[in-house]
Amino acid sequence: MSVRTRFAPSPTGYLHIGGVRTALYSWLHARRQGGRFVLRIEDTDLERSTPEATAAILEGMAWLGLDWDEGPFYQTQRMDRYREVLAQMLAAGTAYYCYCSREEVDAMREEQRTRGEKPRYDGRCRTRSTAREGVAPVIRFRSPDTGETVVEDLIHGRVSFQNSELDDLIIARSDGTPTYNFCVVVDDWDMGITHVIRGDDHLNNTPRQMQILQALGANLPVYAHVPMILGPDKQKLSKRHGAVSVLEYREQGFLPDALLNFLIRLGWSHGDEEIFSREQMIEFFQINTVNKAASAFNPEKLLWINAQHMQRLSPEGLAQHLRPYLDAQGITEASLAQGPDLSAVVALLQERAKTLVEMAEAARIFYLAPVTGEVKDVEKHLHGQGALLESLLQHLEALPVWTAAAIHSAIQELAVSHAEGKMGKIAQPLRVAVAGRAVSPPIDGTLALLGKAETLARIRHARSWLAAV
Ligand code: GLU
């Protein structure tokens, strides 16, 4: 039977990074087995589900390239089907109407507690044959009384539950709406899911879902419950640890493949390897080798992995990823067209930048001349350097070829004649004049790319406003 996996998020907030890891594992398992990956939006909680959250899920999945073969299916559009299955179960006697009021159930639990028993619904409506006037009943699943339900989990191993511990679950509320565990069961059944890969916060739901599937005569899927992600302090990962929404990582300038690489490594390994391409992830991933212990999120490692992925892309490929971040820096198509070739700029910056945001900031200087009032580090590096700028102009202007090597030699000569051989004493004022601040990629390469005319124009401009202050 071909493998079918699914990702089934509830659209009640942003797409959480922990959910993305579950989605990734589920997607990888399908891709590796040549199976199909289904996306299902579990939106039955009408109060907490929003269209914005659904949109954020779809956007996040698309950004990450976690493409789905079927769906998105929406549970709110499947209500007729759930009602149909409820009716079948009532007819078959695997479900029954329960007319107990809340007070009655509460009193039952109270008595059980005083007897020292674990509170549970005692099944008294299983045999109640008549409706109660004016009471809208719930529907309960008729669960087995004895035996055990065993989850052979691919990650957690064998987990067994005593059936006597599991009481008759409500599968439809008194207003007729089906409950969460029931919808999941019908969906997994209808969608032919062979492998349920989900967060281990759902492990306790699994025996109940298995019992209902059995009552329906459905094949049981294989289960794999993925542990959660912890913050660096080993507490459950939450907002106070930083970004948890996947789209925030896009905003911060991470490459989708780098984020996936980081997530796959949380609790899974392949020898000592750290960096995986998307193809390698598909080739190597095995769901049954995921750790059952929760893993901690390490932001430094994410940055490192991102830098590694940035370095491995071709400059042209990386330039494509960079475009939206340049937009955000106010670098328009027009200024890109006037400045140096973007791939060449990327090649110069590729070794150093850890994120696309950092790279876009560093790329600014190639497309936007420094604005006089915004130049930084003037006090420290540029004041009183009018004469130096003058000599720089002369030396650079006189260069017969405009290459990084020629520019480097010119700076070196000036360092010898003006600064006791200290390159920094020349390079820093030059950086501030040309780039508007004392940090830039290697100055010779920067000027080579910027071009002779633009470099000289910027130095002249700095010289004239320096003279005026
Ligand atoms: N909708 C559930 C959640 O977002 C997932 C349920 C499942 O995967 O079975 O936690």
Closest CA to 382 of 433, 434, 347, 420: 433
CA distances in angstroms from 137 to 85, 88, 130, 144, 314, listed in the order given: 17, 17, 11, 21, 64
The finding on whether 255 has its CB within 6 A of some atom of ligand 1 is no
H or E element at residue 466 = helix 452-468
Q: Establish if 369 belongs to a structural domain.
A: no
Enter the pTM of the model: 0.93
| Strand 95-98 to 195-199 pairing | unpaired
Q: Establish if 308 belongs to a structural domain.
A: no
How much of the chain, in percent, has pLDDT values that exceed 90? 87
How far does the centroid of ligand 1 lie from the alpha carbon of residue 28, in Å? 18
pLDDT for res 131? 83
Same-domain status, 176 and 276: no
pLDDT for res 138? 97
Q: For residue 421, name the pLDDT band (cuts at 50, 70, 90).
A: confident
Same-domain status, 113 and 169: yes
pLDDT tens digit sequence for 86-103: 999 999 999 999 999 989
Count of structural domains, the chain: 4
pLDDT for res 381? 87
Q: Establish if 73 belongs to a structural domain.
A: no
Please identify, by atom number, the ligand 1 atom nearest to the C-alpha of residue 188.
9
Q: Establish if 368 belongs to a structural domain.
A: no
Eight-class DSSP state of 26: H
Same-domain status, 178 and 241: no
Give me the mean pLDDT over the 382-394 stretch. 93
pLDDT for res 414? 94
Catalytic residue among 118, 236, 239, 422: 239
Q: For residue 144, name the pLDDT band (cuts at 50, 70, 90).
A: very high
The finding on whether 208 has its CB within 6 A of some atom of ligand 1 is no
99: Cβ–Cβ under 8 A, 6 or more apart, which residues? 125, 128, 131, 132, 135, 137
pLDDT for res 116? 93
Among residues 226, 258, 282, the one where a domain terminates is 226
116: three-class secondary structure by DSSP: coil
Same-domain status, 410 and 328: no
Same-domain status, 39 and 60: yes
**Residue span of the structural domain in which 221 resides:** 78-226
Q: Establish if 158 belongs to a structural domain.
A: yes
pLDDT tens digit sequence for 253-309: 999 999 999 999 999 999 999 999 999 999 999 999 999 999 999 999 999 999 999
Same-domain status, 56 and 105: no
How far does the centroid of ligand 1 lie from the alpha carbon of residue 108, in Å? 31
Same-domain status, 461 and 321: no
The finding on whether 42 has its CB within 6 A of some atom of ligand 1 is yes
* Amino acid code (one letter) for 436: G
Q: Establish if 119 belongs to a structural domain.
A: yes
Pocket test for ligand 1, best of 6, 37, 44, 198 (most atoms within 8 A of CB): 198
How far does the centroid of ligand 1 lie from the alpha carbon of residue 276, in Å? 27
Same-domain status, 51 and 163: no
**What is the Cα gyration radius of the chain?**
32
Same-domain status, 90 and 193: yes
Q: Establish if 358 belongs to a structural domain.
A: yes
**CATH code at position 398:** 1.10.10.350
The finding on whether 44 has its CB within 6 A of some atom of ligand 1 is no
Q: CB of 440 within 8 A of CB of 448? A: no
CA dist., res. 332 & res. 36, Å (int): 41
The finding on whether 202 has its CB within 6 A of some atom of ligand 1 is yes
Please identify, by atom number, the ligand 1 atom nearest to the C-alpha of residue 22.
8
Q: Is 452 one of the catalytic residues?
A: no
Is 361's pLDDT higher than 80?
yes
Same-domain status, 86 and 181: yes
Give me the mean pLDDT over the 180-189 stretch. 98
Same-domain status, 221 and 82: yes
The finding on whether 10 has its CB within 6 A of some atom of ligand 1 is yes
Q: Which of 89-94's residues contact partners 24+ apart within 8 Å by CB, and which partners? A: 89/139, 89/141, 89/171, 89/215, 89/216, 90/139, 92/215, 93/142, 94/141, 94/142, 94/215, 94/216
Give me the mean pLDDT over the 208-237 stretch. 95
Is 122's pLDDT higher than 80?
yes
How far does the centroid of ligand 1 lie from the alpha carbon of residue 8, in Å? 5
How far does the centroid of ligand 1 lie from the alpha carbon of residue 16, in Å? 12
**CATH code at position 289:** 3.40.50.620
Among residues 226, 256, 277, the one where a domain terminates is 226
Please identify, by atom number, the ligand 1 atom nearest to the C-alpha of residue 6.
8
Residue by residue, DSSP assigns 409-420 as HHHHHHHHHHST
Same-domain status, 261 and 386: no
Q: Establish if 204 belongs to a structural domain.
A: yes
Q: For residue 27, name the pLDDT band (cuts at 50, 70, 90).
A: very high
Q: For residue 132, name the pLDDT band (cuts at 50, 70, 90).
A: confident
Is 1's pLDDT higher than 80?
no
